Structure 1
Amino acid sequence: MNILVQGAGALGGYFGGRILEAGYDVSFFVREKRAASLTKEGLKITSPEGMFESKNVMVFTRLEEIKNIDLVILAVKGYHLDQVIPQIQAIVEQTDAFVLPLLNGVEHLEILQQAIGEEKVLGGFASIIATLNEQGHIVHSSGSSAIKFGALHNDQIEVCKQLEAMNQHVKTKILREEAILKHMWKKYIFITAFSGITSAMQLPAGFIANTEASFATAGNVIYEMSMLAEKEGIVLTEQEVEGMVNRLRGFSGEATSSMHQDMRKGLPIEVEHLHGGALRMAAKHGVTVPVIETLYGILKPYENGRP
């Protein structure tokens, strides 16, 4: 299977690098600046799951260069989705590839399905805490990483089998899930709480566990998001919801969210994609989510980087 990773930041670079490391055919479609960095520095991963470095990385910057692709792993930030839609449309038209988006949230599924067809968009998400250092190398700081994916259409069964077969060869987890929409929602619920509270506090995860008021705020986001999930037909048990709340206490003191890391660097953040998406869903169902709305108001000025 020939895989194209669109976006080679910390997320796309890490998982694309791990698949490349295992000997699979992987290329990257990136902007000129990132292409120059990868050409000069190569792809380098520092990780508890093992170090990896390659100076021989296939990089594309022009759509017409892309041919013979079976799967596109879409690994861009939510705020870049609108601008990459025409690119994804062109790639799928040229190659007939399937697309596995690793974006946070759930709104992007319908947007992509409308752009390229329901049969082409797999469900999926990534679990990792990683960032790029000043040299553009990937620094993975969480103890493990995973891609979880699943079919949303019968035409995707075969490509899912091929992806699933990679799991035993890569130094990460590539896990197939039958109820992928539920798993996506559980990620969306948790990251909306975790990224929201760490970014609003502008402090790492240790302060969630040590500050009852902050823990309660993050927990209330989980309760509000779980209510929205149920409105969307995703039913979670009480034990599943409480498990997510209790997980907020389980991080090491200095661990933090990708959104908080981006804020520290003065970069754009996914507040519109995550918290804004929740507000749009609440409006659709005629319900209120006051804690999410408050975090959204606090974080919105940082949407395009440090004000």
Structure 2
Amino acid sequence: MEIKTVSIIGLGALGILFGNHLSKRMPKEDLRIIAEQDRISKYKGNHVYCNGERCHFNYITPEEACTPADLVIFAVKYNDLNKAIQAVSNQVGEKTIILSLLNGITSETLIGETYGAHKLLYCVAQGMDAVKVDNRLTYEHMGMICFGERVPGVISEKVTQVSDFFKRMAIPFEVETDMYKRLWGKFMLNVGVNQTVAVYETNYGGVQAAGKARDTMIAAMKEVVLLSEKEGIYLTQQDIDYWLKVLGTLSPKGKPSMRQDMEAKRCSEVELFAGEVLKLGQKHNVPTPVNQRLYDEIIRVESTY
């Protein structure tokens, strides 16, 4: 099967970034942005911009009848995932492939409970420094999508189909044969950088340079390494070094989504990061004091909204 139709749900930073990129390379009717009618009205009224350029999207509601998409991409925040899973029901058919660009280590499991794990490829989006303010997205580095099967060492037909599509669409990508470990690696980075930048009220530059913020970030990441051993993933210092190199490629002025959420006084994805670390720490009787401190501070700030 050749991927020809794509449905994206979620117009946050990644939804806009990849949606705008695809919209220039696909027939308009073959790229669908799934959203409730009130959101569609808002998007059409205020428009959506990517690096100063107005995006021209084909919007459809969850209720609209249509043929299933070849590829469905989840780009919502974790807090909106359950609703999004139901909203794409008309987009998912027997041969649909599903990618989740969400952070964390749980979204694929939740999506698979509804549509079947066999439809999913695990993936992470990495290396982008996108910042979204209201309806405007800016970025310097597009980054890439890394994807593969949950089972190590397998390059399936689904992987080949998505690879071929990304090549045609000029989307930077990497096929990973140990994707679940890569997912945990990105989770480790997010636990460190997203929460530290938010608590220290800084940007990527604030954790790229030596200092207390960077030390806190790395300490939070090391707690994930300890937990990964208990879960049979076995992250190492080499994985920390790899993800710190990825962090070093980002614009120092950029900010992760959690920092942007807290600046806008929105509830963050703290349960996806420190919240999950604390649960795993309790499960395995592993102390996680750094993540506990970050969690407590983020919850305290959010309680003031």
TM-score interval for Structure 1 and Structure 2 normalised by the shorter chain: 0.7 to 0.9
Quote how far apart the aligned CAs of 1:245 are: 4.9
Distance in 2 (alpha carbons) for counterparts of 1:31 and 1:183: 33
Change (3 A) 1:280 1:14: same
Asked if the contact 1:107–1:277 (Cα under 8 Å) also holds between the matched residues in 2, the reply is no
After TM superposition, the structure 1 = structure 2 runs for residues 215-294 of structure 1, keeping only pairs within 5 Å, are 215-245=214-244, 252-294=251-293
Q: Give me the whole-angstrom Cα distance separating, in 1, the residues matched to 2:117 and 2:23.
A: 28
Opposite residue 8 of structure 1, the aligned amino acid is L
TM-score computed with the length of structure 1 as normaliser: 0.85
The total of aligned residue pairs comes to: 298
Separation (CA, whole Å) in 2 of partners of 1:39 and 1:156: 40
**C-alpha displacement of 1:167:** 3.1
Give the structure 1 partner of residue 121 of structure 2. Answer: 122
Return the alpha-carbon distance in structure 1 between the equivalents of residues 87 and 165 of structure 2.
26
Q: Distance in 1 between matches of 2:38 and 2:221?
A: 38
For residue 147 of structure 2, what is the aligned residue in structure 1? Answer: 149
Write the distance in 1 (CA, Å) between the matches of 2:83 and 2:14.
Answer: 18
Alpha-carbon deviation of 1:73? 0.2
> Any stretches of 5+ residues in structure 1 without a counterpart?
none
Report how far residue 190 of structure 1 moved.
0.6
CA distance in 1, matches of 2:204, 2:6: 35
Could you say if the C-alpha distance between residues 130 and 37 of structure 1 is closer, same or farther in structure 2, counting changes exceeding 3 Å? farther
Q: C-alpha separation between the residues in 2 aligned to 1:96 and 1:163? A: 13
Q: Which moved more, 1:71-80 or 1:169-178?
A: 169-178
Structure 2 portions without partners, runs of 5+: none
Match of 1:45 in 2: 50
The answer to whether the Cα contact below 8 Å between 2:62 and 2:87 also exists between their aligned partners in 1 is: no
Say whether the 8 Å CA contact 1:193–1:222 is kept in structure 2: yes
CA apart distance, 1:39: 2.7
Q: In the alignment, which residue of structure 2 is the partner of 1:138?
A: 137
1:75 aligned partner, one-letter code:
A
Cα distance per residue 1:106-158 (max 9 Å; x no partner): 02222222222221222012122223344x23222x42321111123799933
> What percentage of residue pairs aligned between the two structures are identical?
24
Aligned CA RMSD, in angstroms, stands at 2.8
The answer for the alignment partner of 2:8 in structure 1 is: 5
**SS class of match (2:239):** helix
Counterparts of 1:246 and 1:131, CA distance in 2 = 20
Q: Is the 8 A contact 2:35 2:59 kept in 1?
A: yes
Give the CA deviation at 1:246.
6.5
Preserved contact between residue 262 and residue 302 of structure 2 (Cα < 8 Å)? no
Specify the code of the residue in structure 1 equivalent to 2:287: T
C-alpha displacement of 1:274:
1.5
State the match for 1:68 in structure 2. 68
Aligned residue type for 1:29: I
- 1: CA distance between counterparts of 2:247 and 2:14? 22
Shift of residue 225 of structure 1? 0.9
* TM-score, L = length of structure 2: 0.86
Aligned equivalent of 1:16: 19
Whether the 8 Å contact between 1:4 and 1:26 is mirrored in structure 2 is: yes
1:165 aligns to what? 164
- Flag the 1:166–1:87 CA change in 2: closer, same or farther, 3 A: same
